[in-house]
Structure 1
Amino acid sequence: MTTPRALTLLAFYLVVFLVLAKSGYSRAEESGIIFSHAISLHGKPALPPDYKHFKHVKPDAPKGGTIRIAAMGTFDTFNVYGSQGKAAYGLYLTNSSLLTRNWDEPLTKYGVMVEKIEQPADNSWVAFHINPKAVFSDGKPVTAKDIVFSFNILQSEGSLFWQQFYQDVEAVKATSEHRVLFTFKHNRNRELPLLIGQLPVLPEHWWKDRGFNADLLEPPVVSGAYKIKRFAAGRFIEYERIKNYWAENHPANVGRNNFDIVRYDYYRDSNVILEALNSGQLDWHIEGYPRYWLEGYSKSALKTGKLIKGTWKNHNPQTSSLVLNSRRAPFNDIRVREAVAVLLDVDWVVANLLSNMMVRAKSFFDGSELAATGLPEGKELELLSKWKGDLPQRIFTDIWPPAGSMARREKLKYAISLFKEAGFQLEQGVMKTPSGKPFSFEILLGDPSNERLLQTQVRRFAEAGITMTIKTAESARYLKSIRALDFDAILHSFRHTPSPGIEQRSFWSSANLNEEGTLNLAGVNIPAIDEITEAIPASKSWAELVTKIKAMDRILLWHFQAIPMIYNPSWQIAYSNRVSPPDNLPRYSVERTTWFATEPTKLDDSVKQ
């Protein structure tokens, strides 16, 4: 017999269940298991389980048309996840990941490929329930075995990035046809369920008999909304929207994936890209060069509305930095690296070559609250004090950059004094290394447009008796040199997310320091950085994360292995009147998948080089 007390308790638990379900969670109290439609690193997902679409899309955006985009260089593979070759642009369109990111939130991911996310309260594992409607582009169903295969192939044959990304995963197992379980080595990495959500879904039946790192120019079977339609190696590649794509009407895809055709045309010169935009051969381009933005676009095309320029604030902390390969002498000497940082006349470049449209970067996280500013204090000072005896003491007493208030001539004298401290000698206008050889180094570039930014620095270093040369390599050769760590210095953009996490370990940790394909390009080998990058994913609050990132930022700055130069606080996008953005772009991306066509576009296979 059911007692009134039992009925009251039953009603109470039913109300609790409904409240949790409405907020996106349901909890089995006895087992402590949480089921959700989305996961967020800090706080709860902004959208409830019954959301209709992402807020930044135009839900009734028309489907159809073509968008033509410029790409630099060339390509020789359709495998963007391997360790070899130069992958074609746009491949992100072809493969779904387990979870789909909402770019209007700092770090929240929603299920599309995944119907339900299952987690224990102690963060010791995560399970994903694959949507039973999910199919690959050849019509075969997506199963948990495909997820296991995807994980294992990336761990065994993928690029070093993927191997480091998932090093905290103990095992993966398909527990049923549509449930895959990931168990963790420890529960300290709170970000790990989200990281696993970035796993691309690859079809085992297509990949298992093919060499994962072989040259691949065979259009693969894919899991995303687009597939490769046609291509000419090194000239263009077209992606076509899959008709009757199984997840086309999922709330996360409403107002997205609007173009029937997404086409990338390859160019070798940014001047030719500008000509193509002005003549109507391209539809969309992020402009990175203020000179082009201010003076390069056709006045008649802008006046008639055939070409439109739009500016949107960039909320991502991203910097372009000069990376010194500290594995090589003399950049293994901190005094030499600081001297290089002092000699760089970035302020002149920003004012005279970039028209002050970009900003002098003084942090790897400039433009956000993550940037280290002033002197360390509070929790950050407390954290840094743990390694005080092992760190440059100016971290605690000086504000970066060094010699910031000095005049140009004074900076030159200060840099020369640093070289002398390191055993260099200035003889008859030539800076000699401790071994007596003239000091010269090369900056390797992958984009010829950056040559102009650095040519003035050649003269500046010549004033100190140093020969700085600039070499621009074709994109595939550049990538090969970077993977092999075969460079003195490079200009590199560190693209951090609004909520930095385990990828910081790839950028800065000494693990895999000298392994080919490492993302630790500068050769950072600092115990304090190793500890912080390990601790970042375990942050339990946003405030704790900010403290760790600021401390890491400050340590990196004062070791001068990478020198922040500039960051762009806005996205400058030139686009034709044949395409249109939604009313609002998300905070953390220009998300081209939300744009749509306003009129048909005639395709032309002739691409000017």
Structure 2
Amino acid sequence: MPSAAPKSLFRLLLLPLLFLALLHPRTGATAELHGIAMHGDLKYAPGFSHFDYVNPKAPVGGTLRLGAIGSFPSLNPFLVKGVAARGLGLVYQSLLSRSRDEPFSLYANIARRVEMAEDRRWVIFHLDPDARFSDGSPIRAEDVIFSLNTLRDKGRPNHRHYYSRVAAIERTGPLSVKMTFDGEAVWELPLIMGLMPVLSERFFQRVPFETTSLIPPVGSGPYRLQAAEPGRSITYRRNPDFWGWHLPQYQGRHNFEAIRWDYFRDTDVALQAFKAGDLDARFETDPTRWVLSLNETDRANRRYQTTVIPKQTPAPMRGLVFNTRRAIFQDRKVREALGYLLDFEWMNRNQLHGLYSRTSSFFQNSDLAARGRPSPEEKALLTPFKKTLPIGAFGTAVRPPVSDGSGRDRRAIRQARKHLLQAGWQVQDGRLTHRETGRPFQIEILLNDSQYLKLLHPFRVNLQRLGIETDIRLVDSASYQNRINQYDFDMIVTDWAQSLSPGNEQAFYWGQSAADTPGTRNYPGIRLDAVDAMIQRISAAHTRDDLILATRTLDRILRAGHYVIPLYHNNEQWLAHAASIGLPETPSFYGTGPDVWWQAPIDGPPSQTP
């Protein structure tokens, strides 16, 4: 007969394990996290020294002079009203800090460590006891709670949308805050809350949050506001007492002693200021200016050099956007028809110096873009919405038409006319009018960048060939922002940048609730249950494969809706900069930015870039 001793020993060993299981159930906490990855593992281990896309030995000093267009009436970047000044991200900080060479990962910042439920239904942020605002006051749990409540109730629409998902927030200690989430799609929410900017409750007790004031803000970032002159300039000075200089994410970053944005009436004036040596760096987006003005043959006499930096993120969807809130664009056939009238092949050869490719996807140049016909898994997601989706969502992923490159492709114009006839429009006395109402087809394309005036002229000519009256209107940046915030336009040119890890922001771009909320980026006014369902699946995706499946299906739906006429892309940044500006050797997924540059010694190498 076997001895009972082994069984007794087994029970003794099992009891502590059961006790630990009670303490840490599957929905319990994972303690001492130094960061959070949306999917998979973090790239950087605890105790890492610096991000790979910086120069950790970059010298500190000098002034960086940059250009901006228009003016600013506000130093509050968290409100819809009033155009906020450039550079305020240097003043404010978030609980966690994002790395730019991972799809979506955050690391300890104001929050020194994180606890999180395995199902991510709650998160606890433990604040760094050394974290301070620029006025020297400590960052407390009360400041985090104040920030959440204020931004959720009074902030921009994206903040209101994201932060309303917090069902409860509680102070669990002087430096600890617990957030609990409701709903189903909670997987991304700990990261969304980690990116929440932390505001000083004491400062906003003195300065009402809703006011668009010019009172210097109190933040917790590496720079403080030095001077602000609306319409002229804004200057920030490096804070020597910034509490976070020792953290790894700040090594090799924020190297200039001062950063100033000078404001100009328009882009052409800013360009001339740069070429005259009054500015130190300029990102260029106009191919003609890049090729003919910045890369002219007389290199010996130039005060600057040009650098092309590759990017690894999806190329933005830049396009002519239809506002479907306007009755004239509610018919998908009308939107599809106008797409035939933009001759990209002619535009690229004659106006864009052959530097671009045609955009087709909202997640271009990534594994998130829809390809070919729907997979069985994609079709399964689409089928419940078959009655409300265009047939194009179930076929080969929609791509823009290819023209003959003549600028007036007769076949394309005939195809556009055919679609317009099917939608009830016909030409009478040289004008396109609606058969039933007699209403003329008249549209306004609203712009705030002069580079599109010349680019869109051939498109306008083709519209006129079909009897469509088109007004291309260029307005100042403040008027433009006010109008698009209220969706007061027929068509605009804009773009949507995407990361390698799309999430809750897609609701701000395409969701039905965003369509009726002023200040969102759902400029087309999309209202589709299928889109909301895919956004929900994206936000709830626990694995990369689930994310890719839901995003490809969303891309397929958006493309089939013909909400934009896609324009063009390249996955590069075009940077012109003074030879004294140093650039890191390795760019991030997003390219480069002023936070990783430095003032190189006059007799030293200007840059690490090959």
Distance in 2 between the 1:270 and 1:568 partners? 21
Find out whether 1:497 has 2:499 as its counterpart. Answer: yes
Structure 1 contact 256–595 (Cα < 8 Å) conserved: yes
The CA deviation at 1:220 is: 0.9
Match among 64, 80, 91 for residue 94 of structure 1:
91
User: Residues of 2 paired with 1:586 and 1:187: CA distance?
Assistant: 33
Q: Which segment drifts farther, 412-421 or 300-309? A: 300-309
2:445 alignment partner in structure 1: 443
Unmatched segments (≥5 aa) in structure 2: 1-8, 603-610
- 1:175 aligns to what SS in structure 2? strand
- Please state how far the C-alpha of 1:386 moved relative to its aligned partner: 3.0
Q: Which residue of 2 aligns with 1:524?
A: 526
Shift of 1:579: 1.1
Q: Following TM superposition, by how much is the alpha carbon of 1:574 offset from its aligned partner in structure 2, in angstroms? A: 0.7
Superposed, 1:106-505 pairs within 5 Å as 106-186=103-183, 188-297=185-294, 299=296, 302-303=299-300, 306-317=303-314, 318-401=316-399, 403-404=401-402, 408-434=409-435, 435-505=437-507
Is contact 1:65–1:599 with CA below 8 Å preserved after alignment? no
Deviation larger for 79-88 or 562-571: 562-571
* Contact 1:228-1:238 within 8 A present in 2 as well: yes
3-state SS in 1 of match to 2:515: coil
Structure 1 residues 9 and 254: CA distance shift in structure 2, 3 A: farther
- The separation in 2 between residues aligned to 1:188 and 1:364, in whole angstroms, is 22
Provide Cα deviations, 1:311-352, integer angstroms capped at 9, x if missing partner: 111222212111111011110111111111122222322222
For the residue of structure 1 that corresponds to 2:272, the secondary structure is helix
Structure 1 counterpart of 2:549? 547
Q: Secondary structure at the match of 1:285?
A: strand
Q: 257-266 or 505-514, which moves further after superposition?
A: 505-514
CA distance in 2, matches of 1:139, 1:58: 29
**How far does residue 589 in structure 1 lie from its aligned partner after superposition?**
3.8
CA distance in 2, matches of 1:297, 1:311: 12
SS at match of 2:248: coil
Aligned match of 2:4: none
Task: Tell me which residue corresponds to 1:514.
Answer: 516
Distance 1:418 1:597, change over 3 A: same
Q: CA deviation at 1:122?
A: 2.2
Asked whether the 8 Å contact 1:67–1:263 carries over to 2, the reply is yes
Which residue is equivalent to 1:578? 580
User: How far, CA to CA, are the matches of 1:187 and 1:547 in structure 2?
Assistant: 18
> CA 1:315/1:484 → structure 2, altered by over 3 Å: closer, same or farther?
same
Instruction: Output the CA distance in 1 between the equivalents of 2:537 and 2:556.
Output: 16
Aligned-pair CA distance for 1:468: 1.5
2: distance between equivalents of 1:298 and 1:291?
Answer: 10
Q: Does the C-alpha gap of structure 1 residues 40 and 334 become closer, same or farther in structure 2, counting only changes over 3 Å?
A: same
Cα distance in structure 2, aligned partners of 1:30 and 1:414:
58
Supply the AA of the counterpart residue of 2:465.
Answer: E
Contact 2:74/2:83 (<8 A) preserved: yes
Point out the more displaced range, 441-450 or 426-435. 426-435
Q: Is the 8 A contact 2:514 2:521 kept in 1?
A: no
The equivalent residue for 2:568 is: 566
Contact 1:83–1:157 (8 Å) recurs in 2: no
The count of residues paired between Structure 1 and Structure 2 equals 583
Deviation at 1:65, TM superposition (A): 0.6
- AA matched with 2:486: A
| Amino acid in the other structure paired with 1:390 | T
2:5 — aligned with what? none
Rounded to whole Å, the distance in 2 between the matches of 1:94 and 1:225 is 7
Moved more, 289-298 or 410-419: 289-298
Letter in 2 for 1:445: L
Counterpart CA distance in 2 for 1:572 and 1:284 is 11
* Amino acid across the alignment from 2:419: L
List per-residue Cα deviations over 1:525-571 (Å, max 9, x = no partner): 11100111122111121121111111111111111122322223111
Q: Residue 23 of structure 1 corresponds to which residue in structure 2?
A: none
CA apart distance, 1:432: 0.9
1:154-213 Cα offsets, whole Å, 9 max, x none, are 011101111112232112222211001111113532110000011001100001242222
Tell me if 1:34 matches 2:30: yes
Q: Give the secondary-structure state (helix, strand or coil) at the position aligned to 2:60.
A: coil
- Alignment partners' CA distance in 2, 1:271 and 1:300: 20
Q: Is the contact between residue 557 and residue 563 of structure 1 (CA under 8 Å) also seen in structure 2?
A: no
Aligned counterpart, 1:48: 45
Deviations 1:401-423 (CA, angstroms, capped at 9, x unpaired): 36547882111111111111111
1:115 maps to amino acid: R
Q: Distance in 2 between matches of 1:366 and 1:302?
A: 34
Match of 1:24 in 2: none
Q: Secondary structure at the match of 1:252?
A: helix
> How far is the alpha carbon of 1:266 from its aligned partner?
0.9
> Given that residues 96 and 200 in structure 1 are in contact (C-alpha distance below 8 angstroms), is that contact kept between their aligned partners in structure 2?
yes
1:77-127 deviation per Cα after TM superposition (whole angstroms, max 9, x unaligned): 011111210011111111011111110111101011111011011211001
- In structure 2, give the amino acid aligned to 1:33: A
Letter in 1 for 2:527: N
Distance in 2 between the 1:218 and 1:57 partners?
33
Q: State TM-score, norm by structure 2.
A: 0.91
Distance 1:399 1:429, change over 3 A: farther
Q: Which runs of 5+ in 1 are unaligned?
A: 18-26, 601-609
Q: After superposition, give the CA deviation of every residue in 1:449-484 in whole Å (9 maximum; x if it has no partner).
A: 222221221111111111111111111111100111
State whether residues 278 and 298 of structure 1, in contact with CA within 8 Å, keep that contact through their aligned partners in structure 2: no
